[in-house]
């Protein structure tokens, strides 16, 4: 439900639905006559009122920022910005005010207030979300060291890390997601223009998920290794979801109430090595069947993983170093996080391997009880880690959402 329009973006009237059938038939005829290798496709020739993906709108304002519990979008950009040498707390506050104003407009399908390029003008907001966070270095640079959250302490070193510092950390972090890549790109450019003299891009990465309508199972992501990912994520409908993901109202520091912590890792997958494993061996490394995501302890994708189950042969169903075992909350004193990642593919490396993997993003109320203990355990005992390289890392404090007229981070910067 869009707070601004009061309209449910997902609702299609029966009249409109019947409208598609007519348009589809006509498109089929036209395209079918156009030569041997041309196929009709309903979704491409649909009339304006049925551009359902473009119409998707995620409210910007609210208790929490959008882009955390929002369903995965098809295109994503992550960008870190560093403040200019002469940018002080006041300049940072002005930047967050400009960014908030721009994000609020674009996510509602309105032109960017400062200067709209018109690049994505012909589509709706396409479920655009823009999420802002602060890195540890931000606090020292703006004289706000006394407001640095304890939870934003540096992540420990892990033995599997091969981190590129130039693509890690940063004063400010922006996550952009949208179901149309041009809408997402336009938002990134708009924010970069607003940063102008105040902050410059430190690093930027782009990723993707499934196109809406490509698969009937879009809610759990399928990563580049082919594994269904995120099945065991906390679900918004579960009663402890909010406690796991968001800082409580009476949490500390006060300016983080309703906020969350994002751990960002660029995880390259050694796909050539992985592809040499037999499908059975791949399933054992993960602890789930690639084909349908079902745990090797039995059932379907959504069946809880039974870590103590044995097979008929007397072997443990889910191996001691299987990824799902080592990462399970039961193996980590209940530590959990909301994983909401994008795949990436940045061409090929000089060694001939694809530069591809996961822009891993994990959300939690406190990384010391989420990502950090789980990754410590994975780092020591996960059979999957042989096929992964963590190449960049960041931890960001993402404050709660703001009300119309306010800006994200206002309580930090003015409180």
Site for its own copies in 279-308 (CB under 8 A): 279, 290-291
User: What is d(CA 114, CA 161) in angstroms, rounded to the nearest whole number?
Assistant: 41
Nearest distance from residue 223's CB to its own copies, in Å? 8
Residue ranges in 223-304 assigned as alpha helix (H): 241-245, 271-276, 279-286
Q: Identify the DSSP state of 138.
A: H
Residue 265 in the binding site for its own copies (CB under 8 A) = no
Residue 216 in the binding site for its own copies (CB under 8 A) = yes
Smallest CA-to-CA distance from 65 within 270, 321, 257 is with 257
If the CB atoms of residues 233 and 375 are measured against its own copies, the closer one turns out to be: 233
Residue 20 in the binding site for its own copies (CB under 8 A) = yes
User: What is d(CA 279, CA 136) in angstroms, rounded to the nearest whole number?
Assistant: 42
Which listed residue (229, 283, 366, 382) is catalytic?
229
User: What is d(CA 299, CA 324) in angstroms, rounded to the nearest whole number?
Assistant: 15
Size of the site for its own copies (CB under 8 A): 117
Residue 388 in the binding site for its own copies (CB under 8 A) = no
Pick the stretch among 23-31, 88-96, 247-255, 366-374 that binds its own copies (CB under 8 A). Answer: 23-31
How would DSSP label each residue in 48-75? GGG-HHHH----S-SSS-SSSSSPPPSE
Residue 243 in the binding site for its own copies (CB under 8 A) = no
Q: Residue written as tokens 């190449």?
A: 391
User: What is d(CA 363, CA 358) in angstroms, rounded to the nearest whole number?
Assistant: 15
If the CB atoms of residues 183 and 395 are measured against its own copies, the closer one turns out to be: 183
Residue 165 in the binding site for its own copies (CB under 8 A) = no
Smallest CA-to-CA distance from 272 within 162, 342, 352 is with 352
Q: Identify the DSSP state of 400.
A: P
Instruction: Report residue 38 as tokens.
Output: 């041309």
Nearest distance from residue 237's CB to its own copies, in Å? 6
Pick the stretch among 60-68, 151-159, 304-312, 362-370 that binds its own copies (CB under 8 A). Answer: 60-68
**What are the φ/ψ torsions at residue 263 (nearest 5 degrees)?**
-100, 125
Smallest CA-to-CA distance from 291 within 303, 299, 279, 281 is with 279
If the CB atoms of residues 155 and 392 are measured against its own copies, the closer one turns out to be: 392
Residue 66 in the binding site for its own copies (CB under 8 A) = yes
Q: Which of residues 116-155 bind its own copies (CB under 8 A)?
A: 117-124, 126-127, 129
If the CB atoms of residues 28 and 230 are measured against its own copies, the closer one turns out to be: 28
Position among 114, 145, 196, 219 found at the interface with its own copies (CB under 8 A): 219
Strands 75-83 and 354-364: unpaired
Q: Which of residues 70-99 bind its own copies (CB under 8 A)?
A: 70-71, 74-75
Nearest distance from residue 249's CB to its own copies, in Å? 13
Nearest distance from residue 182's CB to its own copies, in Å? 6
Position among 214, 243, 254, 403 found at the interface with its own copies (CB under 8 A): 214
C-alpha to C-alpha distances, 317 to 106, 287, 288, 323, nearest whole angstrom: 49, 8, 10, 13
Reply yes or no on whether 229 is catalytic: yes
Q: Among all residues, which ones are annotated catalytic?
A: 229
């Amino acid at each position: 439900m869009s707070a601004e329009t009061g309209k449910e973006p997902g609702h299609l009237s029966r009249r409109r639905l019947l409208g598609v059938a007519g348009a589809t038939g006509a498109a089929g005829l036209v395209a079918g006559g156009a030569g041997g290798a041309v196929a009709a496709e309903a979704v491409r020739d649909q009339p304006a009122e049925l551009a359902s993906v473009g119409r998707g709108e995620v409210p910007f304002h609210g208790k929490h920022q959008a882009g955390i519990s929002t369903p995965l979008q098809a295109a994503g950009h992550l960008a870190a910005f560093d403040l200019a040498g002469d940018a002080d707390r006041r300049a940072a506050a002005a930047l967050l005010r400009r960014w908030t104003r721009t994000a609020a407009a674009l996510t509602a399908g309105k032109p960017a207030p400062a200067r709209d390029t018109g690049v994505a003008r012909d589509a709706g907001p396409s479920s655009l979300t823009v999420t802002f966070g602060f890195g540890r270095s931000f606090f020292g640079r703006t004289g706000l060291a006394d407001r640095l959250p304890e939870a934003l302490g540096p992540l420990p070193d892990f033995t599997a890390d091969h981190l590129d510092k130039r693509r890690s950390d940063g004063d400010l972090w922006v996550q952009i997601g949208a179901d149309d890549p041009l809408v997402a790109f336009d938002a990134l450019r708009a924010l970069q223009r607003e940063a102008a003299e105040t902050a410059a891009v430190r690093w930027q990465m782009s990723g993707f998920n499934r196109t809406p309508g490509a698969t009937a199972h879009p809610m759990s992501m399928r990563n580049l290794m082919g594994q269904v990912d995120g099945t065991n994520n906390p679900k918004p409908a579960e009663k402890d979801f909010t406690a796991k993901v968001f800082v409580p109202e009476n949490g500390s520091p006060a300016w983080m109430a309703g906020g969350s912590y994002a751990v960002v890792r660029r995880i390259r997958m050694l796909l050539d090595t992985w592809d040499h494993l037999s499908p059975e061996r791949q399933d054992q490394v993960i602890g789930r069947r690639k084909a349908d995501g079902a745990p090797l302890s039995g059932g379907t994708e959504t069946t809880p993983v039974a870590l103590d189950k044995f097979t008929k042969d007397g072997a443990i169903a889910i191996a001691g170093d299987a990824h799902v075992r080592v990462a399970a909350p039961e193996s980590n004193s209940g530590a959990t996080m909301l994983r909401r990642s994008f795949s990436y593919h940045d061409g090929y490396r000089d060694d001939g391997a694809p530069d591809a993997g996961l822009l891993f993003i994990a959300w939690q109320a406190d990384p010391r009880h989420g990502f950090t203990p789980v990754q410590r355990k994975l780092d020591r005992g996960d059979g999957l880690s042989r096929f992964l390289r963590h190449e960049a890392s960041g931890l960001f404090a993402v404050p709660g959402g703001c009300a119309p007229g306010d800006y994200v981070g206002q309580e930090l910067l003015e409180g």
